[in-house]
């Protein structure tokens, strides 16, 4: 099916929940209401004509400068049966990002959603095991957000240079890296 | 359907049965292929549940990408799957070319295919070799590493690096093939086909102990594989003939004659550890076939400028692209978002090892502890790519 036909099928089934559609993009995508994404996901997998049995990728994107500031969650779908692709997006407010989980539809979403939670702070409602996955359990904050600032300390270990160290860096001093000896080692000359 | 429902498992030590025990494996365990930590809930020798902990090798790849320009991302992608760095840079270069609308010439494409397939042999050599070592067969590993070294020598001759090449650029490759490369490569591949490959089949794959340790262990059904997005040899081991080089050819793969390797279930249920390794072994032979064809083409072809299509400045228009390519470990996907600047706004890597690891807790239920090692090795994970 072409992306236009896939969109038409979604629109016929969900109506208002499909907010917009961009056919001109390299990978055409449809914008879905966040509350409806779990149902849409179950539908596109179960509907024989669509048959999206594979979730290729689930990613979050941070847009703090848009009005209103928002987080996108992007679902790249593929159908092994029909060999077509489609992209679903949801947009959630940045200060309260909540999206229903799709792990019941595609098993791989479990880890992808944990990653999006870990790095962006998107909360997936109904997720069976929403813990941090790449960062340590006691890490504070979500580093892939655009306004992320490194903390001074993590468990007593220095993460960010102190102002004094930053000044010395700026002056060109090599801190903690040397001194290295770049003269070649004194090796016996090769016998000719 | 019920087997695909999310697994909810209690890991509270207080709630354990009398016979149960929580056993920690890794992160410094030689057979975890890097720094992976597994928490096993065991009953005697039988594993009742597994919880993998990843992230020990997290290097903020995606955050770094947002702070360098597009060509600057390429060396970082090398460091994802450090056993198969050519495939990683190729994927990102192709994603950017799709975004910019660049088509490299046939000379560059043929070099890329040649390098990607050499890398596939080198990568599977490590995968199958270390897998044999996990199960106690040391000799095949030495045979395979000898040939991997020769391939790395060829890479070093071409671009100066043995592990992290930064070879595929957006629109081209970094260095042309040196004088005499084709002859040396042909000799190396002939030697591999005549010596190492038969030895590998004889010593490892046809070995009765190997078959008994792997056939019927960690059986993955096609539905589970697709639901958990297993790709590459892991998917083809379930008997599904899906290969991006055939289904959605890139870099001129449609011009090459090769078979998609498939698991056959010849010694037990289809989709077992044996089938996944069988696919890798067959794929190595098929890659050798592709390399011969690529060398034939290059011998007839006029040399061309490999930097001809390399853009002076990579600055794609506002938009986004998702591109996947068939890396040795499966489908490697890049999701790149551009805001029109010279730095990417967002780069996300869909790593085949990450998705393969996400199914581990399902496949591992009910196995013996020793078979956990066999299962883990058969999925062929590289932690650099899982943790990014």
Q: Which residues of B touch A135 (CB under 8 A)?
A: 55, 58
Band of the pLDDT at B279, cuts 50, 70, 90? very high
Between CA A144 and CA B51 the distance in angstroms is 25
Per residue of chain A (192 residues), what is the pLDDT tens digit? Answer: 888 888 888 888 888 888 888 888 888 889 998 988 988 888 888 888 888 888 999 999 999 888 889 999 999 999 988 888 999 999 999 888 999 999 888 889 999 999 999 999 999 998 888 889 999 888 888 988 888 888 877 887 777 777 777 787 788 776 666 555 555 555 555 554
Backbone φ and ψ of A99, nearest 5°: -135, 140
Q: What is the model's pLDDT at position B101?
A: 87
Interface of A with B (CB under 8 A): 25-27, 53-57, 59, 61-62, 74, 76, 80, 83, 87, 103-104, 106-108, 110-111, 119, 128-129, 132-136, 143-144, 148
**Domains of chain A, earliest start first:** 3-137 (3.30.460.80)
- DSSP per-residue letters across B245-293: HHHS--TTGGGS--PPP----TTSSTTSHHHHHHHHHHHHHHHHHHHHH
Q: Which of B227, B236, B345 to mutate to test the interface with A (most CBs of A within 10 A)?
A: B227
Nearest CA in chain A to B95: A26
Backbone φ and ψ of B335, nearest 5°: -110, 110
Between CA A25 and CA A168 the distance in angstroms is 47
- Once rounded to an integer, what is the mean pLDDT over residues B158-185? 87
Mean per-residue pLDDT over chain A, rounded: 84
Between CA B360 and CA B51 the distance in angstroms is 9
pTM of the model: 0.86
Q: What is the model's pLDDT at position B2?
A: 45
pLDDT beyond 80 at B21: yes
Helix intervals (H) in chain B = 61-65, 70-78, 85-100, 106-134, 139-159, 181-191, 197-200, 208-214, 222-227, 233-236, 244-247, 273-300, 352-358, 360-363, 369-379, 383-387
DSSP A30: E
Domain boundaries, chain B: 61-350+371-387
Give the model confidence (pLDDT) of A9-53 as tens digits: 888 888 888 888 888 888 888 999 898 898 888 888 888 888 888
Class of domain B61-350+371-387: mainly alpha
Q: Contact B335/A87, CB-based, under 8 Å?
A: no
Give the model confidence (pLDDT) of B75-122 as tens digits: 899 988 888 899 899 999 999 998 888 888 899 999 999 999 999 999
pLDDT beyond 80 at B3: no
Q: Which of B320, B333, B343, B388 to mutate to test the interface with A (most CBs of A within 10 A)?
A: B320
Give the model confidence (pLDDT) of B339-383 as tens digits: 888 889 999 999 999 999 988 988 888 889 888 988 988 888 888
* ipTM value for the complex: 0.86
Residue B42 in contact with residue B23, Cβ under 8 Å?
yes
Nearest CA in chain B to A79: B226
Task: Give the H or E element holding residue A165.
Answer: helix A163-170
Residue A127 CA from chain centroid, whole number: 16
- Once rounded to an integer, what is the mean pLDDT over residues B170-190? 88
- Once rounded to an integer, what is the mean pLDDT over residues B26-51? 84
HEC profile of B42-106: EECCEEEEEEEECCCCCCCHHHHHCCCCHHHHHHHHHCCCCCCHHHHHHHHHHHHHHHHCCCCCH
């Amino acid at each position: 099916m072409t992306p236009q036909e896939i969109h038409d099928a979604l629109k016929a089934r969900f109506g208002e929940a499909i907010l917009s559609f961009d056919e001109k993009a390299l990978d055409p995508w449809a914008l879905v209401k966040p509350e409806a994404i779990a149902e849409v996901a179950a539908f596109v997998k179960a509907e024989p004509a669509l048959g999206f049995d594979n979730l290729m990728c689930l990613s979050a994107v941070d847009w703090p400068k848009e009005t209103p500031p928002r987080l996108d969650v992007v679902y790249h779908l593929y159908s092994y049966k029909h060999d077509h692709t489609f992209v679903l997006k949801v947009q959630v407010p940045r200060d309260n990002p909540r999206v229903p989980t799709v792990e019941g539809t595609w098993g791989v979403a479990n880890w992808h959603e944990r990653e999006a939670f870990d790095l962006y702070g998107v909360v997936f409602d109904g997720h069976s095991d929403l813990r941090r996955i790449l960062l340590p359990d006691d890490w504070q904050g979500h580093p892939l957000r655009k306004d992320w600032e490194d903390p001074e300390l993590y468990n007593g270990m220095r993460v960010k240079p102190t102002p004094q160290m930053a000044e010395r860096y700026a002056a060109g001093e090599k801190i903690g890296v040397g001194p290295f000896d770049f003269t070649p080692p004194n090796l016996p000359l090769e016998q000719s | 359907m019920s087997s695909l429902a999310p697994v909810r498992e209690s890991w509270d030590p207080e709630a354990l049965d009398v016979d149960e025990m929580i056993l920690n494996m890794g992160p410094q365990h030689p057979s975890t292929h890097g720094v992976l930590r597994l928490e096993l809930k065991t009953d005697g020798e039988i594993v009742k549940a597994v919880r993998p902990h990843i992230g020990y090798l997290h290097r903020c790849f995606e955050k770094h990408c947002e702070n360098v320009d597009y060509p600057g991302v390429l060396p970082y992608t090398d460091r994802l799957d450090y056993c198969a760095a050519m495939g990683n840079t190729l994927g990102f270069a192709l994603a950017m070319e799709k975004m910019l609308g660049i088509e490299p010439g046939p000379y560059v494409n043929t070099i890329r295919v040649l390098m990607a397939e050499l890398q596939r042999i080198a990568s599977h050599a490590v995968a199958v070799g270390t897998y044999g070592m996990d199960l106690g067969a040391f000799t095949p590993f030495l045979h395979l590493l000898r040939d991997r070294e020769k391939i790395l020598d060829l890479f070093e001759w071409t671009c100066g690096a043995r592990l992290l090449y930064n070879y595929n650029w957006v629109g081209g490759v970094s260095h042309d093939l040196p004088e005499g490369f084709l002859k040396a490569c042909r000799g190396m591949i002939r030697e591999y086909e005549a010596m190492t490959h038969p030895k590998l089949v004889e010593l490892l794959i046809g070995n009765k102990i190997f078959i008994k340790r792997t056939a019927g262990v960690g059986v993955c059904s096609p539905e589970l594989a697709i639901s958990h997005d297993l790709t590459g040899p892991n998917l083809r081991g379930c008997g599904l003939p899906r290969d991006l080089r055939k289904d959605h050819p890139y870099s001129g793969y449609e011009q090459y004659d090769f078979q998609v390797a498939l698991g056959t279930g010849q010694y037990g249920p289809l989709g077992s550890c044996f089938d996944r390794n069988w696919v890798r072994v067959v794929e190595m032979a098929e890659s050798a076939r592709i390399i011969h064809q690529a060398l034939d083409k290059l011998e007839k072809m006029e040399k061309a400028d490999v930097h001809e299509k390399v853009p002076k400045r990579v600055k794609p228009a506002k938009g986004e692209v998702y591109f996947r390519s068939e890396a040795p470990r499966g489908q490697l996907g890049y999701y790149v978002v551009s805001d029109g600047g010279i730095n990417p706004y967002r780069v996300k890597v869909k790593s085949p090892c990450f998705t393969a690891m996400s199914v581990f807790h399902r496949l591992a239920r009910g196995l013996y502890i020793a078979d956990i090692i066999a299962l883990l090795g058969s999925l062929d994970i590289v932690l650099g790519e899982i943790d990014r």
